[in-house]
A and B are shown apart, each in its own frame.
Chain A
Amino acid sequence: MPDRIVVENLVKRFGTIEAVRGVSFSVRPREVFGFLGPNGAGKTTTIKMLATLLVPTSGKLYIEGLDVVRQRQEVRRIIGLVFQDPTLDDRLTAWENLMFHGLLYGLSQAETRRRAMPLLEMVGLADRANSLVRTYSGGMKRRLELVRGLIHTPKVLFLDEPTVGLDPQTRSQIWQHIQQLSHEHDTTVFVTTHYMDEAEHCERTAIMDHGQIVALDTPEHLKQLLGHEEIRLTVRKEALHERPRWEDRLGQRFSGSGPDLIFKTHDAGADVTRIVEVIGPSIQRIEIKRPTLEDVFLHLTGRQIREETVSAREAWREFGRRRMGR
C-alpha cells in the first residue's frame, strides 16, 4: 500500500528562526505515528504545514498523493486536526459543536448524529452530549475534540499534544482511545507529544529536536539504539580489590567507580545470574536498568528533555545558540 503521508525536505523559517530544518519521513495507512520532542522542537509547525495552515518555506508534502500546498481544498476534506489548545466553543453544547463540525464537512444533522453516537459512547460522553462544553473537565474536552476530529472520517487525524496538561489516568485513557480508533477506522493518526513515555504507544516515533528528526523507528528499536541494558551493582568496599578478577571471569570490564559498578550488556536477564555467581556475597545491591526513551533522547541530543515550558533564560540561550548556528 502506498504511504499516506510523504514529507520531503520540509523547511519552515519565521524570519531568522528556522523552526523546521529539512525534515523527511513517510507514514503508512492506519499507522499511529508519533512526533516526540521538547517544546520548541518544531512539532506544531510541522503539523500546521501538513494541515494546510502554514505554507512551507521549501520542501514537498503529500497526503494520499495530494500536494498539500497546491491542493489545499482537497486535502482539507480528508484530514482532521485536534489543535494543541482546545478549539471547542464552550458556550455551546457538545452536540452543537459536533453538529457544526458535521455541517462544515457537508454532513446532515442526522448523519452527524449517527456517526457521533458510537464515538461519544466510546469516550464515555454520550450522556453529557447536551451539556454546555464550559461545564466539561479538561479531559472531557479532549475526548470530545477527538470525537469531533473523527466525525468526517478523515484519512489522517493530526493530534497536537492531545494529552498535555492532563492527569496520568486521563492521559492513558486518551491513548487507549487513540489506539482503538486506529484499529476500527481507516485512519492514520499523527500525534505529537513531549512526554517521553508516551512515544511507547506509537507504532513508530520520530524524535525531533531543534527542527530536525534525530531518529525515527519503533520504540523498541529506538531503545536498542543505546545498544545496551545496564546491570548496576553496589559491592562491599572490602571486596573491591577483587574487581580485576571478576572482570576476568566475566570476560568484560565494569564501568563506574568505587563500590558502584555498571555492567553493560545486551541481555541483562541472563548476565545478572552470572554476576551473582561470580561476585556472590560481596554484592550489596543489584538492579537492572533498561533504557527508556528519555535515555535515548539524552543519548541522541546530549540533553535531558525539558518538562513543560523552557525557562526564559534557557530560551534565550537556545535562541543565541541557534543564531550562532550552534
Chain B
Amino acid sequence: MIALRGIYVIWLRELLRFVREPARIVGMVAQPLLYLILVGNGLAHGFQFRGTGGVNYLAFMFPGIVAMSVLFTSVFSAMSIVWDREFGFLKEVLVSPVPRAAIAVGKALGGTTIAVVQGAVILILAPLVGISLRAGMYFGMLGVLALLALALNGLGILVASRMESMQGFQVVMNFLVMPLFFLSGALYPLKGMPTWLAALMQVDPVTYGVDALRHLVYAPGQILTALTQFSLATDLTVTLATAVLLITVSTLAFNRAKSA
C-alpha cells in the first residue's frame, strides 16, 4: 500500500517535471527529426543499400529512429536519479516510510511514460517518410516501445545505482548508449554483417525492439522477410524478458546502494 503510494508519487513528480520543461519536450521531438532529415537523407543519397528490399531508406530508418529516441530518453531519465539522490528530492523520499524499491519502480514507470509519449508523437510523423499507419499498428508500436522503454529504464537505474556523481554520465553515453544504438540495426540492416558484429547485435536488447517495430510497420511479404531478423514472437519475448530482468535487478541494486 505505502509502496504503491510511493511509486505513484515518484511517477507523478517525473511527469510534472517533464511538462514544466518545454525545452525538453521540443528537444525530444526535434532530435529524432534532425536525425531523420540529416543522417537519413545523407545516407540515403550517399550509399546504395543492400537488403532494404526496395523500401526507401527513410522508411527503413524510421522505426530505428523511434527506438533511438526511446533509448536516449529512457537512459537519460533514469540517470537523473543520481542527481536527485545527491541533491534533492530523493533524499526526502529516502527518510520517508516509503520502501526504496518503490523509488526505482516509480522512476522506471515515469521514464517509460515519458518515452512512450515521445514515441507517440514521433510516430505521427510516419506519413512523412511514406509509412501509413493504421490505428492497430500505431498502438501495437506503442506497446513495443513501452516494453523497450521499461527495459532501458531498468538498465539506466542499474547503472545509476552504481554511480556516485553525474561525472560518469558522459562515459555511459559514449560506451553504453551509443553502442546500444549503433548495434541495434536502427541505421542499417543486420543481415550479412561479420559474425563478431552480428554476435554483438544479438545481445543488444534494442535490436529486438527495433525488429519488432519493423514487423509492425511493413506488410507481411518479401520486404518484411528481408528487413527483419527474428520472428515477432521472439522479439516480444526477448524484450519482455529483458524488461522484467532489468527492472528486477535494478530495483535490487537500488535497494542495496548506499544512501546519500
A residues contacting B by CB (< 8 A) are 51-54, 73, 76-77, 79, 81, 83, 85-89, 91-92, 96, 100-101, 103-106, 132, 148
Give the chain A neighbours of B20 by CB distance below 8 A: 91-92, 132
Secondary structure type dominating chain B contacts: helix
| B97 contacts A87, C-beta separation under 8 Å | no
Give the chain A neighbours of B13 by CB distance below 8 A: 89, 92, 100
| A106 contacts B9, C-beta separation under 8 Å | no
Asked if B260 is at the interface of the complex by the 8 Å CB criterion, the answer is yes
Give the chain B neighbours of A104 by CB distance below 8 A: 5-6, 9, 92-93, 96-98
Binds A, one of B47-55, B83-91, B238-246: B83-91
Alpha-carbon distance A77/B2, docked complex (angstroms) = 11
| B9 contacts A100, C-beta separation under 8 Å | yes
Question: Per a CB cutoff under 8 Å, which of A73, A103, A148 touches B9?
Answer: A103
Alpha-carbon distance A226/B259, docked complex (angstroms) = 41
Which parts of B13-32 form the interface with A (CB within 8 Å)? Answer: 13, 16-17, 20-21
Alpha-carbon distance A30/B21, docked complex (angstroms) = 43
Give the chain B neighbours of A132 by CB distance below 8 A: 20
Question: Per a CB cutoff under 8 Å, which of A76, A89, A103, A106 touches B95?
Answer: A76
Q: Given A76-B95, A87-B92, are A96 and B5 also a contact pair (CB < 8 Å)?
A: no
Give the chain A neighbours of B88 by CB distance below 8 A: 86-89
State the total of A-B contacts with C-beta under 8 angstroms: 60
Alpha-carbon distance A88/B89, docked complex (angstroms) = 6
- Identify the closest chain B residue to A51 (Cβ): B95
Asked if B197 is at the interface of the complex by the 8 Å CB criterion, the answer is no
Alpha-carbon distance A96/B17, docked complex (angstroms) = 11
Give the chain A neighbours of B16 by CB distance below 8 A: 92, 96
Alpha-carbon distance A76/B87, docked complex (angstroms) = 20
Q: Given A91-B20, A106-B5, are A76 and B96 also a contact pair (CB < 8 Å)?
A: yes
- Identify the closest chain A residue to B12 (Cβ): A100
Q: What is the distance, in angstroms, from B208's C-beta to the closest C-beta of chain A?
A: 35
Alpha-carbon distance A54/B8, docked complex (angstroms) = 26
Alpha-carbon distance A54/B89, docked complex (angstroms) = 18
Give the chain B neighbours of A77 by CB distance below 8 A: 97
- Identify the closest chain B residue to A72 (Cβ): B97
Give the chain B neighbours of A92 by CB distance below 8 A: 13, 16-17, 20
Q: What is the distance, in angstroms, from B14's C-beta to the closest C-beta of chain A?
A: 11
Alpha-carbon distance A87/B89, docked complex (angstroms) = 5
Give the chain B neighbours of A73 by CB distance below 8 A: 97, 99
Alpha-carbon distance A96/B88, docked complex (angstroms) = 15
Alpha-carbon distance A128/B99, docked complex (angstroms) = 32
Q: Kindly name the residue among A51, A83, A104 whose own CB sees the greatest number of chain B CB atoms within 10 A.
A: A104
Alpha-carbon distance A270/B87, docked complex (angstroms) = 54
Alpha-carbon distance A52/B96, docked complex (angstroms) = 10
Give the chain A neighbours of B5 by CB distance below 8 A: 103-104, 106
Q: Given A103-B8, A104-B9, are A53 and B95 also a contact pair (CB < 8 Å)?
A: yes
Give the chain B neighbours of A85 by CB distance below 8 A: 87
Question: Per a CB cutoff under 8 Å, which of B2, B93, B259 touches A106?
Answer: B2
| A89 contacts B89, C-beta separation under 8 Å | yes
